Structure 1
Amino acid sequence: MLPAIIACEIGFWVLLLAGLTARYPLRAKTLSAVLLVCVPLVDVVLLALSVIDLRGGGQASTAHGLAAIYIGVSVAFGGQMVRWADQRFAHRFAGGPAPVRPPRHGREHAAHERRQWLRHVVAYVVAVAVMGLFTVLVGDYERVAPMWGPMGVWGIVVVIDFLISFSYTVAPRRARS
């Protein structure tokens, strides 16, 4: 299962870079559209591979948990990553405006950090939902227990992220003078 996760991560970036290369340097809009539409299909492939493995009697493992986490992060942050890369390609190859950087201080920075934390929570919830689906498909909690292992650590990370993100609301960063 771990090789499938790695292959999907590589596939995400290869399809994204190929799609943006087709869009900007090659000016092949149709090819670009096809390649960029395929980017989220990587998640579908990973989900399908995980389901096939588990339905086929495969032992649920930490790798299945990581697959669910990958899907959650992709759902929550994928669009943001695509926009980030698109801004840089447009600037470099099509004379587009300089990429927009997130705010670094003040209320705007605090609001940005809170939004990023909410994305983090969405990623966590999606991963839990996917693992719940895997658990239902397997039908035996003892067999899927190892898959849930990373969620405890990730839950702690979400709490720490909350404390850091919302600390900027209480004590916003000040601009350096």
Structure 2
Amino acid sequence: MKYGKARARKERKKWYRHLLSWFIGGGILGSMILYMNHYSQTEALVQILFLWSFILVIDFVVSFSYTLFPKKS
């Protein structure tokens, strides 16, 4: 297990990967929503996108907390 700056760097790198996957997956979901253009049929997709965005924010807080409060050995 890494500690200090190395751990913070590792957590940030994981969050950047999560952000990239959010852009890719969100872009696909967003394209599907816009293509169908019918809110009642795409409501579940919109909810998934909002949930994933909320999880991304939580992951951001946790990942960058290691930068502000490094884990000690």
State how far apart, in whole Å, the 2-side matches of 1:137 and 1:151 are: 16
When the two structures are superposed, what TM-score results if normalisation uses the length of structure 1?
Answer: 0.38
Is this contact kept in 1: 2:4–2:71, CA < 8 A?
yes
Q: Which has the higher contact order (CA 8 A, sep 6+)?
A: 2
How do 1:1-177 residues align onto structure 2 when only pairs under 5 Å count?
A: 104-175=2-73
Identity %: 27
Q: Deviations over 1:65-96 (max 9, x none)?
A: xxxxxxxxxxxxxxxxxxxxxxxxxxxxxxxx
State how far apart, in whole Å, the 2-side matches of 1:138 and 1:113 are: 37
Q: Deviations over 1:26-57 (max 9, x none)?
A: xxxxxxxxxxxxxxxxxxxxxxxxxxxxxxxx
* One-letter amino acid matched to 1:148: V
Is this contact kept in 1: 2:33–2:46, CA < 8 A?
no
* One-letter amino acid matched to 2:60: F
The number of residue pairs the alignment matches comes to 73
Structure 1, unmatched stretches of 5+, are 1-102
More helix by share: 2
Structure 2, unmatched stretches of 5+, are none
Is this contact kept in 1: 2:33–2:45, CA < 8 A?
no
When the two structures are superposed, what TM-score results if normalisation uses the length of structure 2?
Answer: 0.83
Q: Max radius of gyration: which structure?
A: 1
